[in-house]
């Protein structure tokens, strides 16, 4: 993943809300905390965030409400103008774009899905999905063709002529997803897309989403307040609090190695064995200490539990998907993950 080009590069980005944020940020003393800023009458929506998103990666931004996650993603698409720092998309500083260029960027590269769907109530499913295509002036026949394809992709065939209010929440979000994909965006923003749905539908939509992602391989920034959802979907998770990123890492490492108290609190109730993969425990320096049949690096510890209990080796070799040994896993450590270390 490190070799993939960087799509979104966000360096020391700030977003302050208040009377005169740009001025305030310039004269603000270094190391001013969230509460200090608040005492001065400003709200830090995004606080000194640096973050890169690579091509084809799924980055999940996780945080409770008011943590700034939605604000951050809106800064990426410049629905909000940042107060300080830089955000580059494909190497281009988006704050430097003219209105026309910004519209062009959104028309060609970005798609976004919203928590309450954001469907236009006066348009049918088909017209909603075709809306971004209409905006960029594609001809009627082409956009119909493409919209129907997207509707098929999200499994809403036969409902093209329904109006949003005639659909269930899950179906409405499928329309939202189809619309966001209509222009074949490179970057896909999803702002709590499943939070407004009830738990059963949510699960189903997550599966659907994983299927789509496998098919499409987009660069994704996904927002959620649900830690389980984040663990389930993410390549990397960024956990936010008070506008700042507490920790940004793979799910395995966040669970195994939470870096702040706040992150630790989230991970406490998590069944780690379901999250941690053998690959995360593999130590390349100890490859020589292990022998015998390797385990797959992308198997979770939970999946390996039976073997871990019965296997008598102290170190078990771990192989990647090509079959090459990438390191050795300490069985004791793996068992600790499985059983929960005291």
Partner 1 sequence: MAYVTLNSHYSKTALTRMGMPRWLLIAAVAICATQSFLPNFMIRLPESWIPPSAQILDYFFNEIVINTLHFNELTRWFAEGPLDFMLGFTANLLEGKHRWPFLDDPLPWSAIAAVATVLGYYLGGWRMALLGGGTFVWTALMGQWKITMQTLSVLAVAAPLGFLIGLVAGIVAWKWKWFDNAIKPVLAVMQTLPFYTYLLPAVIFFKVGPTAGAIATTIYATPPMILMTTVGLKKVSPEIVEAGKMSGCTRWQMLTRVFIPSARSEILVGVNQVIMLCLAMVVLTAFIGMPGLGGKLLAMMNSFKLGRSLEIGITIVLIAIMLDQMSKAWVVKLPAHFEKGTPWHIRNKYLLFAIGAFILFLVSAQFIDILNEVGRRQSLSIGREIDGAIKGFLNIDIVKSITGFLRYVLNVWILVPFRDFLLWIPVSAFLLLVVAFAWSVGGRRPAAYAAVFFTLVAFSGWWDRSIITLYSVLAAVFISMLVGIPLGIYASRSEKWAKRTLLVCDTAQTFPSFIYLLPAIMLFGITDTTVVLSIVIFTTVPLARYTIEGLRNVPSELTEAADMSGATRWQKLVKVQLPVALPTMAVGFNQAIMFAFFMVIIAAFIGTQDLGQELQRTLAGTDLGKNFVLGINVSLMALTFDLAIISWANKRKEALGL
Residues that bind partner 1 (CB under 8 A): 74, 77, 79, 103-104, 106-107, 110-112, 114-124, 131-132, 134-136, 158, 160-163, 165-166, 176, 179-180, 183, 189
**Could you tell me if 16 and 71 are in contact, meaning their C-beta atoms sit under 8 angstroms apart?**
no
In the bound state with partner 1, the residue whose beta carbon lies nearer, of 74 and 272, is: 74
In the bound state with partner 1, the residue whose beta carbon lies nearer, of 167 and 328, is: 167
| Residues 6 or more apart whose Cβ sits within 8 Å of residue 307 | 295
In the bound state with partner 1, the residue whose beta carbon lies nearer, of 12 and 38, is: 38
Report, in Å, the least distance between residue 104 CB and partner 1.
7
In the bound state with partner 1, the residue whose beta carbon lies nearer, of 179 and 272, is: 179
Report, in Å, the least distance between residue 57 CB and partner 1.
20
Report, in Å, the least distance between residue 140 CB and partner 1.
15
Report, in Å, the least distance between residue 114 CB and partner 1.
4
**Could you tell me if 161 and 185 are in contact, meaning their C-beta atoms sit under 8 angstroms apart?**
no
Report, in Å, the least distance between residue 188 CB and partner 1.
11
State how far the Cα of 76 lies from the Cα of 51, in Å rounded to an integer: 11
In the bound state with partner 1, the residue whose beta carbon lies nearer, of 126 and 248, is: 126
Helix (H) or strand (E) holding 281: helix 278-281
State how far the Cα of 264 lies from the Cα of 241, in Å rounded to an integer: 13
How many Cβ atoms are within 10 Å of 58's Cβ, its own excluded? 21
> Nearest 5°: CA angle at 12, between 6 and 18?
130
In the bound state with partner 1, the residue whose beta carbon lies nearer, of 39 and 120, is: 120
In the bound state with partner 1, the residue whose beta carbon lies nearer, of 45 and 279, is: 45
State how far the Cα of 178 lies from the Cα of 167, in Å rounded to an integer: 14
Crossing angle (nearest 10°) for helices 169-181 and 140-153: 130
The arrangement of strands across the sheet holding 6-17 comes to 43-54, 6-17, 84-89, 92-93
In the bound state with partner 1, the residue whose beta carbon lies nearer, of 178 and 231, is: 178
Report, in Å, the least distance between residue 237 CB and partner 1.
24
**Could you tell me if 251 and 237 are in contact, meaning their C-beta atoms sit under 8 angstroms apart?**
yes
Report, in Å, the least distance between residue 61 CB and partner 1.
17
State how far the Cα of 138 lies from the Cα of 147, in Å rounded to an integer: 12
| Residues 6 or more apart whose Cβ sits within 8 Å of residue 65 | 225
Give the distance, in angstroms, between the CA of residue 174 and the centroid of all CA atoms in the same chain: 18
**183 to each of 108, 140, 146, 151, 154, how far by Cα in Å?**
6, 14, 9, 13, 15
Report, in Å, the least distance between residue 122 CB and partner 1.
4
């Amino acid at each position: 993943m490190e070799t993939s080009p960087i799509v979104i590069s966000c360096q020391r980005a700030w977003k302050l809300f208040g009377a005169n944020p740009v001025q305030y940020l310039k004269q603000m003393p270094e190391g001013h905390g969230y509460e200090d800023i608040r005492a001065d009458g400003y709200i830090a929506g995004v606080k000194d965030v640096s973050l890169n998103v690579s091509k084809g990666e799924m980055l999940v931004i996780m945080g409770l409400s008011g943590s700034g996650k939605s604000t951050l993603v809106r800064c990426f698409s410049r629905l909000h103008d940042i107060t300080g720092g830089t955000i580059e998309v494909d190497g281009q500083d988006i704050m430097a774009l003219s209105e026309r260029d910004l519209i062009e960027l959104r028309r060609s590269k970005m798609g976004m899905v919203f928590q309450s769907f954001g469907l236009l109530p006066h348009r049918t499913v088909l017209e909603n999905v075709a809306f971004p295509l209409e905006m960029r002036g594609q001809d009627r026949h082409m956009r119909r063709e493409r919209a129907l394809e997207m509707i098929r992709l999200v499994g809403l065939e036969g409902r093209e002529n329904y109006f949003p209010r005639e659909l269930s929440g899950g179906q409405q979000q499928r329309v939202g997803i189809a619309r966001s994909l209509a222009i074949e965006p490179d970057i896909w923003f999803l702002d709590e897309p499943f939070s407004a749905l009830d738990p059963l539908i949510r699960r189903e939509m997550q599966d659907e989403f994983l299927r789509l992602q496998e098919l499409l391989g987009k660069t994704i920034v996904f927002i959620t307040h649900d830690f389980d959802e984040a663990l389930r979907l993410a390549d990397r998770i960024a956990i936010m609090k008070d506008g700042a990123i507490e920790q940004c890492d793979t799910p395995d490492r966040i669970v195994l190695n939470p870096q702040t108290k706040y992150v630790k609190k989230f991970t406490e109730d998590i069944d780690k064995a379901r999250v941690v993969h053998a690959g995360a425990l593999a130590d390349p320096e100890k490859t020589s200490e292990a022998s015998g049949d390797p385990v797959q690096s992308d198997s979770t510890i939970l999946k390996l539990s039976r073997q871990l209990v019965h296997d008598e080796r102290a170190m078990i070799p771990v192989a990647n998907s090509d079959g090459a040994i990438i390191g050795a896993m300490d069985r004791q450590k793996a068992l600790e993950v499985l059983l929960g270390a005291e």
